[in-house]
A and B are shown apart, each in its own frame.
Chain A
């Protein structure tokens, strides 16, 4: 793995070749491996090691960026030149800030998120985990498909003003789909520590969902009370956080335009961005090396604060929106500069409730239990209407009990409407889906969720 010393050495060599006023180095990469299985067989099995160095050079208000994975002197020399060539042909940007100083990251100790128990797992150990999943499938006459992956990654920002930010972490993940004749079930879990993964438990839950949803019946499309498991909640709500940066407001592309400080969601919805939460992962600094702050985004249904990159905060302070968007300051959520988006919160933590999914089912007269959603896309950017499908375990609930599996639905549902109609929530968990980044979210029971069509399986 690339060490902090090697990153510093790389930056020293970059400075040797650079003629720019200011220089910034971003490093990202590491080792990753993924064992993929389907039809009860490991059919793909990959590993890689790769690191990218990305150099930003600045000449009096003109900035350029170049990226390479070649760390030898010639590779670095070429990358510096490419970055400077791009910078020098641009017109000066009066809004371009000097690079962040070392105080922007500070010296606060970091929580360890790198575990030898994860990084030391090899293909044989992953195959053994997959074998356990396949055994569960075969015992129940099912077919298993999924992944077992591990990674060890490095992120670093170093710049000519003396800022040095360095982070390593590990990740392990299992995703399982169990396929039956006319039904399927799914589960997914990840953690920085591979010891927290339980392949058999995940396989058993996915298998039960496949069995219980066999011979699905058709339920007419319409508005139903839904019980969304955490992965389904995550994949829906993930679509709104792209709008949660100050730049999105300045660009007037955010659904929060003219809505900060209003009662947009139900009073039971409170959301924080918190990279330091015990169930979160990721680096405690942003694309310029600025330390991430814990930011309360929504309090009792009212959007209160946005997140900001350094430059966005300065622009916002001078804008017509400044008085309407809550506190404005760099929060450590910026993407590497330059970029079009600005910033976004990516360590989301919801406040939950005390009900379990079983409690929610028991208290539902007529509704739909959803395991997972799929192919979600934005239909309307301001009302945040999303469309998508249910998948891998959709059930009809009546009189407090799961009655049977049902054919999958297409939904067209407004996120604003959904978060204003949450009746109950459970304990927040670290959830992982396919449409959004991982979050800490609870299961939710939502009234009047809008299913518009039924598919054929």
Chain B
């Protein structure tokens, strides 16, 4: 059975019942997850899920229903259910939903990759992970070594009663490892190349080879054990430099979430929260220093980020939206509904769903800080810093429900003295208020230091959906930042 025919069964039911708008996504998703722990295979599994999610606008309100049953009866019953749900929604509304216009696109797109990750044998995958695992355990003092590798192929057919017909295939690869050292009354941890399972991108198996997993294992394990003997990170106001992965998460939490228009408009108030970025601040708020330039860029030109696609999950073409321009707040993440609500001509194309059985909603695409224009390496930035602390690899993260007050901890810190990296610091943390922090940024490294990180675990929505987002960043320096709060009073 062709997907277009399955889509037509649903749309015909919706149209016959007089809905204002209907769209649907048929998704076929395959995943492979592999992990080792202390020299043994910890997890080896393949999974597959396929189904249809149908969204309708009837009586000015939304309804959504999803099923795994792709028979004609299953699809038509589910379409009917979506309409009934929309009519029930209309019992409690303040106004009718309207949508910003979008040309119905007809297209076929696939993310680029060199090596299909599913073409590499599980045996080869596990051999590599076991090698990394063994390298980590060679370092005395390591009490737990964990490695992982994950592949995903996400194929989606999108149809709407406006005439959209979009087929997209996205392949994602992720890999990384972490080690723990328990000694005395302390557990220390180091991860590579990032926390949250490593690095994730819309690439094939070539990403695994680029990461040089084995080459870095003993260094990372050595740092983990050495942290036990390091000095505790001091408390006070310091100049700090964030490595690019930590800056990526800083962007995610203190820029990416507050610019979501559904949060701004109160739609997430019960769970994820709202935002300090109320509508009157657009074009007026000095979000950061003049060096801060952030974009929400879902286009392929930005790179193979987890937020890269050609069309979002309501058929809107991928775009690049300037979010912070020379420090000024200039843009939100929007959907067709929220764009219409705030008077934008077009959605910013940021709506995505975790799978076929979840409602598409505003999600971060690739929210990236642009690199500095002047050549500046991390080494040069450190050399230019008289005294400060260099923060590496996230360990803890927390921010309030309007996205003002944040606190981050990293796995490792290094004191900077006289332009050079000095003693190792354990348990480093820093905290602040979003706009004060971004206004304190006085240097950012250039393009050659910029990495497009993948965050695979962003949670939002009810029922909660987990989404991958992209964050490009190069190391940057911030002045007069509060450091050490996490252990204050402990």
Q: Which residues of A contact B (CB under 8 A)?
A: 32-52, 54, 63-70, 78-79, 82-83, 85-87, 89-91, 93, 122-124, 126-128, 130-131, 134, 143, 145-147, 149, 175-177, 179, 184, 186, 223, 251-253, 257, 338-340, 374-383, 385, 387-389, 391, 408, 410, 412, 414, 434, 450, 452-457
Contact = CB atoms under 8 A, between A and B. Distances in A.
B266 A179 contact: yes
Contact of B185 (A252, A383, A452, A454): A383
Contacts of A147: 270-271, 462
A452 B485 contact: yes
B46 A86 contact: yes
A145 to B, nearest CB: 4
Interface string B478-490: 0000000111111
B182 interface: yes
Contacts of A381: 187, 189
A123 B43 contact: no
A251 B40 CA distance: 13
A39 B264 CA distance: 12
Contact of B489 (A41, A42, A452): A452
Contact of B51 (A50, A382, A391, A434): A50
Given A44-B359, A45-B86, A177-B269, A410 B45 contact: no
A147 B267 CA distance: 11
A377 B396 contact: yes
| Listed residue (A39, A83, A455, A456) with the most chain B CB atoms within 10 angstroms of its CB | A455
Contacts of B95: 41
A383 B270 contact: no
A90 B89 contact: no
Among all A-B residue pairs, the 6 with the closest Cβ atoms: A123-B88, A455-B405, A145-B269, A67-B47, A252-B182, A89-B123
B265 interface: yes
B17 to A, nearest CB: 15
A379 B407 CA distance: 10
A34 B123 CA distance: 42
B80 to A, nearest CB: 11
Contact of B44 (A38, A65, A146, A253): A65
B66 A50 contact: yes
A51 B395 CA distance: 35
Nearest to B130: A91
SS class, residues of chain A in contact with chain B: strand
B467 to A, nearest CB: 16
Contacts of A33: 85
A450 B276 CA distance: 26
A387 B46 contact: no
B254 interface: no
B89 A123 contact: yes
Contacts, number: 289
Contacts of B398: 375-377, 387-389, 410
| Listed residue (A64, A91, A452) with the most chain B CB atoms within 10 angstroms of its CB | A452
B439 interface: no
Interface residues of B, number: 89
A383 B184 CA distance: 12
A42 B61 contact: yes
Interface in B445-488: 462-463, 485-488
Interface stretch (B18-26, B149-157, B238-246, B427-435): B427-435
B401 interface: yes
Nearest to B459: A434
Interface in B55-69: 61-69
Given A149-B463, A452-B431, 11 more contacts: A42-B90, A42-B92, A70-B48, A175-B270, A179-B266, A251-B144, A340-B43, A374-B400, A379-B487, A380-B490, A408-B405
B191 interface: no
Contact of A89 (B53, B84, B121): B121
Nearest to A184: B269
Nearest to B53: A48
A383 B486 CA distance: 12
Contacts of B359: 44, 46
Contacts of B186: 382
A270 to B, nearest CB: 25
A453 B268 CA distance: 25
Nearest to B49: A69
A324 B443 CA distance: 53
A374 B401 contact: yes
A253 B143 CA distance: 8
A235 to B, nearest CB: 12
A22 B61 CA distance: 51
Contacts of A414: 490
B85 A253 contact: no
Contact of B89 (A42, A50, A54): A42
A51 B49 CA distance: 10
Contact of B92 (A49, A50, A65, A134): A134
Nearest to B74: A49
Given A86-B45, A86-B122, A412 B143 contact: no
A37 B81 CA distance: 19
B229 interface: no
A338 B266 contact: no
